[in-house]
Structure 1
Amino acid sequence: MLVQPYLFFDGRCEEALTFYKTALGAEVTAMMRFKENPEPQPGMCAPGSEDKIMHANLRIGETQVMASDGMAFGGKPEFKGFSLTLTVPTDAEAARLFKTLSDGGQVQMPLGKTFYASSFGMVTDRFGVGWMVINPLPMP
């Protein structure tokens, strides 16, 4: 079984994909706009949103994250009740990624040492997606 996150950006998906490519070195492996849908559904997206993203697949490290503009009504996307976690091998990498994700976002817990990690921090990025960045310590 495979569990994959699917994020709905309510009209900001292309902007988010561009940000994650730069910030995280992510790669867009698939993308389809609403106007490319071979079986269009009436009401599937807001009028004038044909160029918005119906579906995209993004590879971040070894993980596949799916994304869409959803129905592209242009509201503020809400991502509540979860965070995506980036597990990294060095404190320097944790600091770099945390700083990049924090740009235009909001820090919930500053990056620092904890009993379980040499670096751990929590941030919500400019799109409202929660991230935890961690360089874990070995478990006893």
Structure 2
Amino acid sequence: MSIKTTISIVLLAMTFLSCSNNKNEKNNLNEIKLLQAEKDSLTAIITQNKTIMKNQMIRSLTFQDGNAENAMNFYLNIFDNSKIINVNRWGKDAPTDEEKIMQATFELDGNLFMCSDSPPIHDWNFTPAVANYIECESESELEMLFTKLSENGKVMMPLNNYGFSQKFGFIEDQFGVSWQLNLK
């Protein structure tokens, strides 16, 4: 059931309860207050989600191997100030394994990402031509990210001075996602 449908039902129930001539008018008023609080909570969630998503460019990672949750948790453990915002899972009658991620939204150091486990297998996958580019504040941050992200992955350009940067590295992580790391 969508949030808009839920809010409509709550408002309808509030109208019905407020119009009834029941002896338990005090109970009805309490129920109306509870329904109003629930409506306010749902409205706040909708507003928050719209604010988060408004004018945001979000990286969307589609996993065809069922690794969306593993990748998301891997990234959350590497990047500071990271959190899961929302996770929707495939249900019992889904075209993929139950409980795989239908869509998850998460934040890595202030940057929004989405991921999903795709039921159909496509003719495409991740490409290094589109990479996550990170400006690192320090050499230690750059080296830590490079080490962790390249573990079980593929180094495409080792950390070095390539003329356009004092230190730069390009890797594909163990999930096939590409990362360009640059020292400011």
Fold match, TM over 0.5? yes
Structure index of larger Rg: 2
Can you give the 5+ residue segments of structure 1 that lack an aligned partner in the other structure? 37-41
Length-normalised TM-score, structure 1: 0.80
Distance 2:177 2:120 in 1: 17
Higher-strand-fraction structure: 1
Q: CA deviation at 1:72?
A: 6.5
The one of 62, 83, 95 equivalent to 1:27 is 83
Higher-helix-fraction structure: 2
- Asked if the contact 1:45/1:70 (under 8 Å) is kept, the reply is no
Q: Quote the RMSD (CA, aligned, Å).
A: 2.3
Match of 1:4 in 2: 58
Spell out structure 1 runs of 4+ moving beyond 6 A.
Answer: none
- Asked if the contact 1:52/1:72 (under 8 Å) is kept, the reply is no
Match of 1:61 in 2: 109
The alignment-based identity, stated in percent, is: 27
Length-normalised TM-score, structure 2: 0.62
1:24-103 alignment to 2 at 5 Å?
24-25=79-80, 26-35=82-91, 45-46=95-96, 49-71=97-119, 78-80=125-127, 81-103=129-151
SS in 2 for 1:64: strand
SS in 1 for 2:137: coil
Distance 1:30 1:66 in 2: 9
Give the count of matched residue pairs: 127
